[in-house]
Amino acid sequence: MPSIAENIRRWTGFDWSQRGEEWCAGYGGVESAWRHAILPRIQAFVPAGHILELGPGYGVWTDYLRPGREEEEPLSRQMTLIDLAPNCIKFCRKRFGNRGMAYHVNDGRSLAKVADESIDFVFSFNSLVHADHGVMRDYLQQLGRKLKPGAWGFIHHSNLGEYAHELDVMDPAYEHWRGRDMTGAKFREDCRDAGLVCTFQELVPWGSERFIDAHSLFTRPLGGAAFREQVERNAVYWEQARSGDHSPAQWYVKVA
Protein backbone atom coordinates (compact mmCIF):
# COMPACT_ATOMS: atom_id res chain seq x y z
CA MET A 1 0.00 0.00 0.00
CA PRO A 2 1.19 3.60 -0.42
CA SER A 3 3.18 4.45 2.71
CA ILE A 4 3.76 8.02 3.88
CA ALA A 5 7.32 7.85 2.57
CA GLU A 6 6.08 6.59 -0.80
CA ASN A 7 3.50 9.37 -0.96
CA ILE A 8 6.16 11.98 -0.22
CA ARG A 9 8.43 10.60 -2.95
CA ARG A 10 5.60 10.33 -5.47
CA TRP A 11 4.15 13.82 -5.03
CA THR A 12 7.45 15.66 -4.66
CA GLY A 13 8.69 14.02 -7.84
CA PHE A 14 5.41 14.19 -9.72
CA ASP A 15 5.06 16.16 -12.96
CA TRP A 16 2.68 18.91 -11.81
CA SER A 17 2.68 20.76 -15.15
CA GLN A 18 -1.09 20.23 -15.40
CA ARG A 19 -1.58 21.28 -11.74
CA GLY A 20 -3.67 18.18 -11.02
CA GLU A 21 -6.24 19.02 -13.68
CA GLU A 22 -5.45 15.77 -15.52
CA TRP A 23 -7.54 13.85 -12.96
CA CYS A 24 -10.61 15.82 -14.04
CA ALA A 25 -10.60 14.55 -17.63
CA GLY A 26 -13.11 11.82 -16.83
CA TYR A 27 -15.55 14.47 -15.62
CA GLY A 28 -15.17 16.63 -18.72
CA GLY A 29 -12.73 19.06 -17.14
CA VAL A 30 -12.14 20.93 -13.88
CA GLU A 31 -15.22 23.14 -14.02
CA SER A 32 -17.49 20.18 -14.77
CA ALA A 33 -15.95 18.16 -11.93
CA TRP A 34 -16.52 21.00 -9.50
CA ARG A 35 -20.07 21.85 -10.63
CA HIS A 36 -21.38 18.32 -11.06
CA ALA A 37 -19.38 16.08 -8.72
CA ILE A 38 -18.09 18.16 -5.81
CA LEU A 39 -20.26 21.21 -5.20
CA PRO A 40 -23.57 19.26 -5.03
CA ARG A 41 -22.03 17.18 -2.26
CA ILE A 42 -20.80 20.09 -0.12
CA GLN A 43 -23.17 22.94 -0.97
CA ALA A 44 -25.12 22.53 2.29
CA PHE A 45 -21.92 23.25 4.26
CA VAL A 46 -20.45 26.25 2.44
CA PRO A 47 -19.84 29.12 2.71
CA ALA A 48 -17.94 28.30 5.90
CA GLY A 49 -15.84 30.54 8.09
CA HIS A 50 -12.62 28.49 8.28
CA ILE A 51 -12.02 25.64 5.82
CA LEU A 52 -9.21 23.13 6.27
CA GLU A 53 -8.14 21.35 3.07
CA LEU A 54 -6.05 18.20 3.41
CA GLY A 55 -3.81 17.34 0.46
CA PRO A 56 -4.54 20.29 -1.83
CA GLY A 57 -1.83 19.37 -4.33
CA TYR A 58 -1.47 22.34 -6.65
CA GLY A 59 -4.78 23.82 -5.55
CA VAL A 60 -7.27 22.71 -8.17
CA TRP A 61 -10.12 22.71 -5.59
CA THR A 62 -8.57 25.37 -3.36
CA ASP A 63 -9.23 27.86 -6.13
CA TYR A 64 -12.97 27.38 -5.67
CA LEU A 65 -12.95 27.32 -1.86
CA ARG A 66 -10.48 30.09 -1.05
CA PRO A 67 -11.34 33.52 0.36
CA GLY A 68 -10.91 36.46 -1.98
CA ARG A 69 -12.22 34.64 -5.04
CA GLU A 70 -13.16 37.41 -7.45
CA GLU A 71 -15.60 35.65 -9.79
CA GLU A 72 -18.33 34.90 -7.27
CA GLU A 73 -19.14 34.86 -3.57
CA PRO A 74 -16.22 33.31 -1.65
CA LEU A 75 -16.94 29.99 0.05
CA SER A 76 -14.69 30.75 3.03
CA ARG A 77 -13.39 33.66 5.06
CA GLN A 78 -10.24 31.79 6.08
CA MET A 79 -8.53 28.71 4.70
CA THR A 80 -5.73 26.43 5.90
CA LEU A 81 -3.92 24.08 3.51
CA ILE A 82 -1.93 21.07 4.76
CA ASP A 83 0.10 18.80 2.49
CA LEU A 84 3.03 16.43 2.99
CA ALA A 85 4.71 17.61 -0.23
CA PRO A 86 6.67 20.86 0.27
CA ASN A 87 6.48 21.68 -3.45
CA CYS A 88 2.68 21.63 -3.30
CA ILE A 89 2.53 24.05 -0.40
CA LYS A 90 5.14 26.29 -2.01
CA PHE A 91 3.16 26.44 -5.26
CA CYS A 92 -0.17 27.10 -3.50
CA ARG A 93 1.36 29.91 -1.44
CA LYS A 94 2.64 31.55 -4.62
CA ARG A 95 -0.66 30.98 -6.43
CA PHE A 96 -3.09 32.14 -3.74
CA GLY A 97 -1.06 34.50 -1.57
CA ASN A 98 -1.51 35.14 2.14
CA ARG A 99 -4.84 36.96 2.32
CA GLY A 100 -6.98 34.77 4.56
CA MET A 101 -4.71 31.80 3.82
CA ALA A 102 -2.41 29.64 5.97
CA TYR A 103 -0.06 26.94 4.68
CA HIS A 104 1.64 24.03 6.44
CA VAL A 105 3.81 21.09 5.39
CA ASN A 106 3.16 18.15 7.69
CA ASP A 107 4.55 14.66 8.20
CA GLY A 108 1.64 13.03 6.40
CA ARG A 109 -0.50 12.46 9.50
CA SER A 110 -0.22 15.39 11.96
CA LEU A 111 -2.59 18.34 12.37
CA ALA A 112 -0.60 19.80 15.26
CA LYS A 113 -0.36 23.20 13.58
CA VAL A 114 -4.14 23.56 13.50
CA ALA A 115 -5.72 25.02 16.64
CA ASP A 116 -8.32 22.96 18.48
CA GLU A 117 -11.96 23.86 17.75
CA SER A 118 -10.93 26.25 14.95
CA ILE A 119 -12.31 24.53 11.84
CA ASP A 120 -15.82 24.96 10.43
CA PHE A 121 -15.43 22.58 7.49
CA VAL A 122 -12.71 20.10 6.48
CA PHE A 123 -12.42 19.03 2.85
CA SER A 124 -10.30 16.61 0.83
CA PHE A 125 -10.87 15.25 -2.67
CA ASN A 126 -8.64 13.05 -4.87
CA SER A 127 -5.84 13.04 -2.27
CA LEU A 128 -6.52 10.89 0.78
CA VAL A 129 -7.54 7.99 -1.45
CA HIS A 130 -3.81 7.25 -1.34
CA ALA A 131 -3.70 7.07 2.47
CA ASP A 132 -3.74 3.84 4.44
CA HIS A 133 -5.98 3.15 7.41
CA GLY A 134 -3.45 4.26 10.02
CA VAL A 135 -3.18 7.71 8.47
CA MET A 136 -6.93 8.11 8.14
CA ARG A 137 -7.46 6.98 11.73
CA ASP A 138 -4.91 9.50 13.00
CA TYR A 139 -6.47 12.34 11.01
CA LEU A 140 -9.96 11.54 12.32
CA GLN A 141 -8.74 11.35 15.92
CA GLN A 142 -7.30 14.84 15.55
CA LEU A 143 -10.30 16.20 13.66
CA GLY A 144 -12.40 15.23 16.66
CA ARG A 145 -10.57 18.09 18.40
CA LYS A 146 -9.82 20.47 15.51
CA LEU A 147 -13.42 20.78 14.33
CA LYS A 148 -15.69 23.15 16.16
CA PRO A 149 -18.70 21.49 17.80
CA GLY A 150 -21.34 21.41 15.08
CA ALA A 151 -18.75 21.56 12.26
CA TRP A 152 -18.73 19.21 9.26
CA GLY A 153 -16.30 17.47 6.93
CA PHE A 154 -16.23 15.83 3.51
CA ILE A 155 -13.40 13.42 2.71
CA HIS A 156 -12.81 11.28 -0.37
CA HIS A 157 -10.90 8.16 0.71
CA SER A 158 -10.16 4.58 -0.26
CA ASN A 159 -12.54 1.66 0.09
CA LEU A 160 -10.14 -0.76 -1.63
CA GLY A 161 -9.78 -2.78 1.56
CA GLU A 162 -13.32 -4.06 1.03
CA TYR A 163 -11.79 -6.18 -1.74
CA ALA A 164 -8.89 -7.50 0.34
CA HIS A 165 -9.76 -11.05 -0.68
CA GLU A 166 -9.11 -10.10 -4.34
CA LEU A 167 -5.97 -8.03 -4.01
CA ASP A 168 -3.51 -10.88 -4.60
CA VAL A 169 -5.09 -11.61 -7.99
CA MET A 170 -6.33 -8.14 -8.92
CA ASP A 171 -4.56 -6.32 -11.75
CA PRO A 172 -2.57 -3.55 -9.98
CA ALA A 173 -3.88 -1.11 -12.60
CA TYR A 174 -7.33 -1.46 -11.04
CA GLU A 175 -6.06 -0.47 -7.60
CA HIS A 176 -5.34 3.11 -8.75
CA TRP A 177 -2.74 3.40 -5.97
CA ARG A 178 -5.44 3.37 -3.29
CA GLY A 179 -4.87 2.67 0.40
CA ARG A 180 -5.15 -1.11 0.39
CA ASP A 181 -6.33 -1.57 3.98
CA MET A 182 -8.79 1.34 4.11
CA THR A 183 -12.56 0.82 3.98
CA GLY A 184 -15.73 2.79 4.44
CA ALA A 185 -16.62 0.67 7.45
CA LYS A 186 -13.29 1.52 9.12
CA PHE A 187 -13.89 5.22 8.47
CA ARG A 188 -17.29 5.07 10.18
CA GLU A 189 -15.85 3.19 13.16
CA ASP A 190 -12.93 5.60 13.47
CA CYS A 191 -15.35 8.52 13.43
CA ARG A 192 -17.23 7.03 16.36
CA ASP A 193 -13.97 6.50 18.27
CA ALA A 194 -13.03 10.16 17.67
CA GLY A 195 -16.35 11.59 18.85
CA LEU A 196 -17.51 12.18 15.28
CA VAL A 197 -20.44 10.77 13.31
CA CYS A 198 -20.25 9.76 9.65
CA THR A 199 -23.79 10.70 8.73
CA PHE A 200 -23.56 9.71 5.09
CA GLN A 201 -21.17 7.63 3.02
CA GLU A 202 -21.34 7.19 -0.74
CA LEU A 203 -19.36 4.25 -2.15
CA VAL A 204 -18.45 4.76 -5.80
CA PRO A 205 -16.73 2.72 -8.54
CA TRP A 206 -13.38 3.82 -9.89
CA GLY A 207 -11.84 2.32 -13.03
CA SER A 208 -13.97 -0.83 -12.86
CA GLU A 209 -17.25 -2.03 -11.38
CA ARG A 210 -15.64 -2.26 -7.93
CA PHE A 211 -16.59 0.39 -5.36
CA ILE A 212 -13.01 1.18 -4.37
CA ASP A 213 -13.65 4.83 -3.38
CA ALA A 214 -15.78 6.46 -0.71
CA HIS A 215 -17.13 9.96 -0.15
CA SER A 216 -17.72 10.40 3.57
CA LEU A 217 -19.69 13.21 5.19
CA PHE A 218 -19.20 13.57 8.93
CA THR A 219 -19.78 15.94 11.81
CA ARG A 220 -18.68 16.72 15.34
CA PRO A 221 -22.11 16.75 16.99
CA LEU A 222 -23.15 19.84 18.87
CA GLY A 223 -24.83 19.57 22.25
CA GLY A 224 -25.44 15.84 22.13
CA ALA A 225 -27.30 15.95 18.81
CA ALA A 226 -28.12 12.46 17.57
CA PHE A 227 -27.32 11.43 13.99
CA ARG A 228 -27.78 8.16 12.17
CA GLU A 229 -25.33 6.64 9.71
CA GLN A 230 -26.39 6.00 6.12
CA VAL A 231 -24.42 4.19 3.41
CA GLU A 232 -25.26 4.11 -0.30
CA ARG A 233 -23.57 2.36 -3.21
CA ASN A 234 -23.84 4.65 -6.21
CA ALA A 235 -23.23 2.51 -9.29
CA VAL A 236 -24.15 5.41 -11.61
CA TYR A 237 -21.81 7.98 -10.06
CA TRP A 238 -19.93 8.63 -13.28
CA GLU A 239 -23.05 8.87 -15.40
CA GLN A 240 -24.50 11.42 -12.98
CA ALA A 241 -21.28 13.44 -12.80
CA ARG A 242 -20.92 13.62 -16.58
CA SER A 243 -24.58 14.45 -17.21
CA GLY A 244 -24.90 17.07 -14.48
CA ASP A 245 -27.48 15.01 -12.59
CA HIS A 246 -27.32 16.45 -9.08
CA SER A 247 -29.68 13.96 -7.44
CA PRO A 248 -26.99 12.77 -4.95
CA ALA A 249 -27.19 16.22 -3.34
CA GLN A 250 -30.29 15.03 -1.49
CA TRP A 251 -28.05 12.68 0.52
CA TYR A 252 -25.60 15.38 1.64
CA VAL A 253 -27.68 17.32 4.12
CA LYS A 254 -27.50 18.42 7.75
CA VAL A 255 -29.92 15.89 9.14
CA ALA A 256 -30.33 14.80 12.74
The top-scoring range by mean pLDDT among 22-26, 166-170, 200-204, 227-231 is: 200-204
- Predicted pLDDT of residue 255: 73
Query: Per-residue pLDDT for 106 more than 80?
Result: yes
Residue 110 CA to residue 73 CA, distance in Å, equals 31
Residue 107 CA to residue 110 CA, distance in Å, equals 6
Q: Is residue 212 part of a domain?
A: yes
For the stretch 36-77, pLDDT in tens is 999 999 999 999 999 999 999 999 999 999 998 876 789 999
Residue 120 CA to residue 136 CA, distance in Å, equals 19
For the stretch 236-247, pLDDT in tens is 999 999 999 998
Q: Is residue 34 part of a domain?
A: yes
What domain range is 20 assigned to? 4-251
Angle between helices 86-96 and 4-12 (to 10 degrees): 50
Task: Tell me the average pLDDT across 168-187.
Answer: 90
Query: Per-residue pLDDT for 145 more than 90?
Result: yes
Q: Is residue 74 part of a domain?
A: yes
pLDDT band at 135 (very low <50, low <70, confident <90, very high): very high
- Predicted pLDDT of residue 98: 94
- Predicted pLDDT of residue 160: 96
Query: Per-residue pLDDT for 1 more than 70?
Result: no
Sign of CA dihedral 175, 159, 248, 141: negative
| Tally of domains in the chain | 1
Q: What is the DSSP string of 60-122?
A: TTHHHHSTT-SSS--SEEEEEEEES-HHHHHHHHHHH-STTEEEEE--SS--TTSPTT-EEEE
pLDDT band at 226 (very low <50, low <70, confident <90, very high): confident
Reduced to 3 states, what is the DSSP secondary structure of residue 45?
Answer: coil
The top-scoring range by mean pLDDT among 62-76, 176-190, 214-228 is: 176-190
pLDDT band at 256 (very low <50, low <70, confident <90, very high): low
Query: Per-residue pLDDT for 78 more than 70?
Result: yes
pTM of whole model > 0.75?
Answer: yes
Q: What percent of the chain has pLDDT over 70?
A: 99
Comparing 42 with 223, the larger pLDDT belongs to: 42
Query: CATH number of the domain that 42 lies in?
Result: 3.40.50.150
Q: Is residue 256 part of a domain?
A: no
